């Protein structure tokens, strides 16, 4: 991994062009706002987040608007109400948001019938004395605040069947993705968020890594931010994003920290590198990194100079 430090967005654009040829992302110090998001759809989240910055909006607006865009699209079976249903046949959504200054956070899990879980996570952070709400209580809180919702009585037949032990023959357990978006604003402050329908075909009530601080998302204003995607059970057991941020605190750049976290997880885990986890990271200086345990992993990075999908190959086991 070669490191390159520069301060000009124009040079960074060159690096992005280079990196889009599926070479490991190079590292550059970037002035001005920067956003990084999981998966190719992350470019749409970046677009909204950068537009929010251009419109003079806050970093939390950038995170919320970026993620809402993917929840709204909800078209690839991953995020939002169009995401993969649980084993009983209806979607339960997880989301969280974290702000660097003040180390504030809000989180929701197992949320039903709410169109934009990321907005509810933000409401929890800003309007509630708790950090995390789940299930019916989270939905009640969301409705109290007037967010966009659908009538969950449509899920009643599936719930009744599940309770009676009548399980769908073939729950949809196909692959699934999560939008995780990390931002640094023009003043160098950090924030992040994530939103997902979680693992397709999950047992009703299952909570993944995405709404768990330090698992699917962690932001530390002094150091940097990290986000995860993949099999949540494997990320949560290792506090994946907390580990990455702590590795950055010890001096690693975001790329090295993402890779090192995966090596440490693999060393400890009976599954070795067969973890299906991927991470993105962003540090205070505006450097980005990404790594994946067992598959190539596309993600998107945007600066004022451009918005591009990059890709890393799975880490080489050591």
Catalytic positions, written as ranges: 178
Residue matched to tokens 């970026």: 66
Give whichever of 65 and 207 is closer to ligand SD4, judged by the CB atom: 207
| DSSP annotation string for 134-177 | EHHHHHHHHHHTT--B--GGGGHHHHHHHHTT---SS-------
What is the rounded (10 degree) CA torsion for 126, 131, 137, 140?
10
Nearest by Cα to 303 from 22, 21, 10: 10
Is residue 257 within 8 Å of 311, Cβ to Cβ? Answer: no
Give whichever of 204 and 230 is closer to ligand SD4, judged by the CB atom: 230
Give whichever of 210 and 304 is closer to ligand SD4, judged by the CB atom: 210
CA distance 59 to 214: 20
CA distance 94 to 148: 16
Which helix H or strand E contains 300, and what residues bound it? Answer: strand 297-303
Give whichever of 9 and 42 is closer to ligand SD4, judged by the CB atom: 42
CB of 215 to ligand SD4, least distance (A): 9
Give whichever of 48 and 196 is closer to ligand SD4, judged by the CB atom: 196
Residues binding ligand SD4 (CB under 6 A): 176-178, 196, 198-199, 208-210, 216, 229-232
CB of 229 to ligand SD4, least distance (A): 4
Contacts of 14 (CB under 8 A, 6+ apart): none
CB of 61 to ligand SD4, least distance (A): 24
Is residue 289 within 8 Å of 230, Cβ to Cβ? Answer: no
CA distance 226 to 261: 11
CB of 175 to ligand SD4, least distance (A): 7
What is the rounded (10 degree) CA torsion for 309, 312, 314, 317?
-160
CB of 39 to ligand SD4, least distance (A): 8
Is residue 179 within 8 Å of 198, Cβ to Cβ? Answer: no
CA distance 271 to 228: 18
What is the rounded (10 degree) CA torsion for 235, 239, 242, 244?
-50
CA distance 144 to 123: 11
Give whichever of 253 and 292 is closer to ligand SD4, judged by the CB atom: 292
């Amino acid at each position: 991994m070669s490191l390159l430090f520069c301060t000009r967005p124009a040079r960074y654009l060159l690096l992005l062009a280079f990196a889009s040829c599926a070479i490991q992302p190079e590292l550059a110090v970037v002035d001005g706002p920067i956003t990084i998001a999981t998966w190719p759809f992350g470019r749409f989240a970046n677009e909204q987040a950068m537009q929010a910055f251009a419109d003079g909006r806050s970093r939390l607006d950038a995170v919320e608007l970026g993620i809402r865009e993917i929840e709204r699209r909800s078209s690839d079976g991953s995020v939002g109400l169009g995401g993969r249903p649980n084993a009983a046949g209806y979607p339960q959504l997880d989301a969280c948001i974290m702000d660097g200054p003040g180390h504030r956070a809000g989180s929701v899990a197992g949320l039903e019938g709410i169109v934009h879980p990321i907005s509810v996570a933000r409401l929890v952070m800003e309007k509630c004395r708790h950090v995390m709400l789940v299930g019916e209580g989270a939905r009640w809180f969301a409705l109290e605040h007037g967010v966009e919702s659908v009538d969950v009585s449509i899920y009643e037949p599936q719930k009744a069947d599940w309770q009676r032990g009548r399980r769908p023959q073939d729950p949809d357990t196909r692959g699934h993705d999560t939008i995780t978006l990390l931002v640094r604003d023009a003043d160098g402050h950090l924030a992040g968020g994530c939103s997902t329908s979680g693992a397709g075909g999950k047992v009703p009530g299952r909570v993944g890594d995405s709404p768990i601080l330090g698992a699917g998302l962690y932001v530390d204003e002094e150091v940097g931010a990290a986000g995860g995607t993949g099999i949540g059970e494997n990320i949560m057991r290792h506090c994946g994003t907390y580990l990455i941020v702590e590795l950055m605190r010890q001096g690693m750049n975001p790329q090295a920290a993402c890779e090192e976290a995966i090596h440490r997880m693999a060393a400890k885990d009976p599954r070795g590198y067969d973890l299906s986890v991927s991470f993105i990271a962003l540090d205070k200086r505006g450097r980005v990194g990404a790594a994946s345990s067992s598959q190539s992993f596309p993600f998107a990075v945007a600066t004022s100079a451009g918005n591009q999908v990059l890709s890393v190959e799975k880490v080489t086991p050591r």
